[in-house]
Amino acid sequence: MSSRVQALRLDAAEMPSSAGSAVPRYVAMGVVAALLIGGWVSGTTATIWKSWFGPFPVPSHTAMLYDPVDAELSLTGYTEASQTAEVAPRIAGTIVSLPIEEGDRVEVGQVIAVLDREEFAPDLLQAQASVSMAKAQRDELVLGSREEEVAQAEANLAKAESALHNARRAFERADSISDVISPAELDKAESAFKSAEATVEQLTHAVGLLKKGPRAERIAAADAEVQRAEAVLAKAEYVVNATDITSPLTGTVIERRATLGARVVPGPMVGPGSSLILCTIADLSKIEAVVDIPESQAGDVQIGQPCLITTEAHTGREFHGEVAWLSPVYNRQRGVRAARVTVDNEEGLVLPDMTCRVRVLGAAAPEDTAPKLLVPASLVVVGQEGGERVLIEADGRAAWADIKTEPFDGDRKGLPPAMDGVDFVEVTSGLEEGAVVLDAANSRIRPGQPVEPVPVSL
């Protein structure tokens, strides 16, 4: 074959130097064209022709950018605040102050609405008076009788004893002369004696009670009355304090429903012109992504797995997070398992009800999720000085590129199925994504030689 091609070449001596030199050149070109048209130049001959007169076809591979995240589960969901509170009144009342607007930042315990407390003030005053009265009565029992009262009772007792002494003497005298006095007079003296005796007994008992003090049961009853009055007071104070409606958490007012002057009521029953929910407050620093995991892949997801979250509103931004909750049950109808993923939202860029994409990294995923540049290990050769290099295509010619590599130990789930069994190395420097790496070992290509890369399917 080569002798035939050599026969087509014209010696310099045969090539005229005048304008007529164009004629032999046309003749040679015509002969070559005739051979091509006639089928004399086969596929093999064309390859030899290209090796002599054009770029040499070389098997090649493109340096592939491997993203570890792509090897993991990708889910679509929406965001919501992990802490949200719908603020409702604890009592019925009329709003007289409403110092908040949607978007306002509030702190826990901050007053966000005030109800009219004038309608509850009388009940509070009455409860306070009842407590005071009950305590006074109890204290009177506990302290017992005063010394003056005891002294007065003893004086009364002494007087009664004196009267008893006189009545006894009168009865004894009347009894001694009963034969000379009428029976009526004797009965009268006896009756006066017995009456004086009863009076002394009664006063003696009264003095004893005054000195002993009230019974324990009376003091217990007085204590119970005090507790009852204090309970009524506590309820009245609760009602008055409930007129100040405070924020249950630190966050942002994302919705305000109530208006100044509106009548609000607690509980599920809301009448005409009344409002149940005053506002909704959310802690926007703690955002969660809500996703559904297909049942076939739910077994690979565990609580604590790291995640990367992206939103349509912030293209190019990735937010870190982790799986915080997995539903204890599966949704049989939809074939999914619900999950929640916490989102690091220190900048406050992620808001509730955003559409998001959650990429769940592997349980043993490396902390560094930066993409890795991979090439087949078989294409890396060792240079004369011991360094690693690969033969690449640059501007249509072969050229050496000095590189540095590390073993690739990433999750191969992110690689195309056709690459199973292919050993890769990670190129850490000296090569860029998309570089065309030539198969130097099998093609015997030298640097500077024109080449035509032929992609090889792995």
pLDDT tens, residue by residue, 24-49:
444 444 444 444 444 444 344 445 54
228/135 Cα distance (integer angstroms): 11
**pLDDT tens-digit series, residues 128-157:** 999 999 999 888 887 766 777 777 888 888
Q: Is 427 helix (H, G, I), strand (E, B) or coil?
A: strand
The token pair at 64 is 């592939």
* Domain 124-235 CATH class label: mainly alpha
Residues of the chain with CATH 2.40.30.170: 73-82+283-360
Helical (H) or strand (E) element with 428: strand 424-429
Which of 226-240, 387-401, 406-420 bottoms out in mean pLDDT, i.e. has the lowest?
406-420
304/288 Cα distance (integer angstroms): 14
pLDDT at 338 over 90: yes
112/244 Cα distance (integer angstroms): 8
366/360 Cα distance (integer angstroms): 13
* Domain 60-67+369-455 CATH class label: mainly beta
Long-range (24+ apart) CB contacts under 8 A made by 144-152 are: 144/210, 144/213, 144/214, 145/210, 145/211, 145/213, 149/210, 150/207, 150/210, 150/211
Residues of the chain with CATH 1.20.120: 124-235
Query: Around Cβ 455, how many Cβ atoms within 10 Å?
Result: 10
Distance of CA 94 to CAs 102, 265, 270, 429, Å? Answer: 21, 9, 14, 71
Question: How high is the pLDDT of residue 46?
Answer: 41
* Contact of 374 with 427, CB cutoff 8 Å: yes
* Contact of 63 with 431, CB cutoff 8 Å: yes
Residues of the chain with CATH 2.40.420.20: 60-67+369-455
Residues of the chain with CATH 2.40.50.100: 84-116+243-282
Over residues 45-59, the mean pLDDT reads 62
Superfamily of domain 73-82+283-360: Efflux pump adaptor protein, beta barrel domain (2.40.30.170)
Question: How high is the pLDDT of residue 42?
Answer: 37
Question: How high is the pLDDT of residue 256?
Answer: 94
Q: Which fold has domain 84-116+243-282?
A: OB fold (Dihydrolipoamide Acetyltransferase, E2P) (2.40.50)
**pLDDT tens-digit series, residues 220-258:** 898 999 999 999 999 999 999 999 999 999 999 999 999
Question: How high is the pLDDT of residue 269?
Answer: 47
DSSP string for 322-391: EEEEE-SS-BTTTTEEEEEEEEE-TT----TT-EEEEEEPPTT--S----EEEEEGGG-EE-TTS-EEEE
